[in-house]
Amino acid sequence: MLELIVFLPIIAAVAIVLGSPARITAFGAAAITLVLSLVLAVQFKITEEGGFQFESARDLLNIPGFPKLALSFGLDGISLVLLLLATIVMMAAVWVAPQESKIKGSSKIYYLSLLLIGGGAIGAFCSTDIFFIYAFHELALIPTFLMIGLFGHGENRVRTAWTITIYLGVGSLILLAGLILALVGVGADTFNIEEVVALAKAPETAIAAGKQTWIFGLLLVGFGILVSLFPFHSWAAPAYASAPTPVTMLHAGVLKKFGLYGLIRIAMPMLPEGMQALTNVLLVLLLGNIIYLGLVTIAQKKLDRMLGYSSVMHMGYVFLGIAAANHIGVGGAVLLMFAHGISIALLFALCGWICERFGTVDFDELGGMAQHLPKLGLLFGFAAFASAGLPGFANFAAEVAVFFGAFQVGSGSLGWFQWTTIIALWGVVISAVYMLRAYRSLFYGEKLEKAAAPADMSWACRIPILLLLVTLLLVGFVPEILNQFIRPAVEGIFLTTHG
């Protein structure tokens, strides 16, 4: 069934090429993958030792001198949570996507690209073969380029499309170099993630500490570019601002999590000493994300760019959780990846709605929407609070875990981690500031003329929004829904890391 989930979006994309009606096919594929992934979540057995379930493998390549390649899939707690994130956001994104008649240009390319971006993310999260983890992620590269270039908004869209594609392309090549070095370093004769990690942990085959630092550095830069780690963040906000709404939802919500996933899945267990050596560097960089980019976010004058920067900023917290490298921190990071993915998709969906109705997202030109568009106001309010980390939303539960995790590191005195956490806490204030400012300038202030106000959100528009919002609230009130999956998987990473 896992293989079906992975290949359904891709099969649907091929069907669209062959002439199947675009929107219906995409919608059907997204809905079926969502249902199937929920079924998997229910069937998933929670065990103490973690490990992969629903495994399947097809051997592909076996030649001397080169690692064995197999098209293999499997889920553990972490990848299950990210799979759920991907399928939920993909459903919402396809739903939010415009009707075929409203798309300027080829609706085939539009939906095809959406499916490939979503399918690539799903495939990357479900693969247990390092080659395919990498390769599926790259599946999204060209569709993103075409989507921004063809259907994006703003005069600079072609330029932006180039920027993101070259940035991410170069990032992937750096990542590739790091991965090859890591694989060769442990003398792996397979791409299978479990076997490679086992090799990396065995004292005889583990990579020497000095070499680990280099390789981890490469991986950090490679993955960091994909996640928009400061100072490799400059592609993100302009790209999100000019990409079509569904692409932004998928990219900011799901695809960007790939880099973090890679760090947790590959870099952390394989290169513990390298990570330790570079932790302080990572702490400084992530403060760049939280504080510097947080302030940049406050300065934004347009909703789409503000959301883009806020999404970059929040990556800092996830990095903090990963840097902490303990159960609470990493568990919180995974939960935050989920929560942030859903909430940023939600915000961008609302932003897209506003942009479509008003033709602008400039704070100076908008205002006073609360009276005539109460439903939008309510939904946006929820989304903004979620993103700012108000209790009751998944983001809160996750951020708290990250902070606790980071504070716990060390011997109890005030060290690097404690100071970083204390400074990072101010990020919460920063995000409250920009979210509330955005809310104020959109919904209060000079009243919107009744005549100028469009109809409020219809049910058809609200369903995908509600899907995302309910998920956030549900996980916010009962984080255990996801934590029960995450905990054993994270334990599993450390069990063998320090064991």
Partner 1 sequence: MPAYILEIIVVALGLLILMVDAFVKLEDKRTLAWIGMLGLVVVFGLLFRVEAPASTDSPFWQFYAPDDRVALFFKGIAVLCTLVVLIMAYDYSPVVVDQTADPEPGAHPQAGLGEFFALPLFACAGLMWMASATNLVSIFVSLETVTIAFYIMVAYLRRNVGSLEAGVKYLILGALSTGFLVYGFAWLYGVTGSMQLSEISAALASPDVNQLGALFAFGLILVALAFKVGGAPFHFWIPDVYQGAPTPITAFLSVGSKAAGFLILLRLVDPFLGSEALSDKVATALAAIAILTLLIGNFAAIPQMNFKRLLAYSSVAHAGFLFTALACAPTKGGGESLTPTTVIAFYLGAYLVMTLLAFLVMSTVRKTIVDETFDAYSGLAKRSPFLAGATLVSMASLAGIPLTAGFWGKLFVFKLAVDQGQWVLLTVAILGACAGFYYYLKIAASMYLSEPDGRKQSVDNSPIIVGKIARTAMIVMIIAVIAIGINPSLITGLLG
Total interface residues for partner 1 by CB under 8 A: 39
Least Å distance between CB 288 and partner 1?
25
Applying CB under 8 A, does 134 fall inside the site for partner 1?
Answer: yes
Least Å distance between CB 477 and partner 1?
40
Residue 152 or residue 488: which is nearer to partner 1 going by CB? 152
Least Å distance between CB 255 and partner 1?
15
Residue 153 or residue 375: which is nearer to partner 1 going by CB? 153
Question: Site mask, partner 1, residues 16-35, x = CB under 8 A?
Answer: -x------------------
> 121 with 109: CB under 8 angstroms?
no
Residues β-bridged to residue 75: 53
Cis peptide before 231 (omega within 30 of 0): yes
Question: Site mask, partner 1, residues 52-81, x = CB under 8 A?
Answer: --------xxxxxxx--x-x----------
Helix (H, G, I), strand (E, B) or coil at 60: strand
Q: Where are the alpha helices (DSSP H) in 228-292?
A: 236-242, 245-250, 257-262, 268-270, 272-287
Residue 194 burial class via C-beta count within 10 angstroms: exposed 0-12, middle 13-18, buried 19 and up: middle
Comparing C-alpha atoms, which of 385, 375, 388, 358 is closest to residue 449? Answer: 358
Indicate the length of the chain as a whole number.
Answer: 499
Distance CA 346, CA 383 (A): 7
Measured from the Cβ of residue 129, the count of other Cβ atoms closer than 10 Å reads: 25
Pick out residues in 418-447 that bind partner 1 (CB under 8 A): none
Residue 3 or residue 456: which is nearer to partner 1 going by CB? 3
Question: Site mask, partner 1, residues 189-228, x = CB under 8 A?
Answer: ----------------------------------------
**DSSP H or E run through 54:** strand 53-61
> 413 with 467: CB under 8 angstroms?
no
> 400 with 334: CB under 8 angstroms?
no
Residue 138 or residue 491: which is nearer to partner 1 going by CB? 138
Pick out residues in 79-108 that bind partner 1 (CB under 8 A): 106, 108
Return the range that interacts with partner 1 (CB under 8 A); candidates 143-151, 199-207, 316-324, 344-352. Answer: 143-151
Long-range contacts of 273-276 (CB under 8 A, 24+ apart): 273/209, 273/212, 273/213, 274/207, 274/209, 274/211, 274/212, 274/213, 274/214, 274/215, 274/216, 274/217, 275/212, 275/216, 275/325, 276/325
- The one among 11, 32, 41, 176 contacting partner 1 by CB under 8 A: 176
Least Å distance between CB 410 and partner 1?
37
Applying CB under 8 A, does 43 fall inside the site for partner 1?
Answer: no
Residue 86 or residue 406: which is nearer to partner 1 going by CB? 86
Pick out residues in 333-352 that bind partner 1 (CB under 8 A): none
Residue 50 or residue 222: which is nearer to partner 1 going by CB? 222
Applying CB under 8 A, does 142 fall inside the site for partner 1?
Answer: yes
Least Å distance between CB 281 and partner 1?
22
Distance CA 455, CA 464 (A): 18
Return the range that interacts with partner 1 (CB under 8 A); candidates 156-164, 250-258, 375-383, 396-404. Answer: 156-164
Residue 21 or residue 51: which is nearer to partner 1 going by CB? 21
Task: Give backbone dihedrals phi and psi of 57, rounded to 5 degrees, phi first.
Answer: -150, 140
Number of H helices, E strands in the chain: 22, 2
Binding residues for partner 1, rule: CB under 8 A, are 17, 60-66, 69, 71, 106, 108-109, 131, 134-136, 138-139, 141-142, 145-146, 149-150, 158, 161-162, 165-166, 169-170, 173-174, 176-177, 180-181, 184
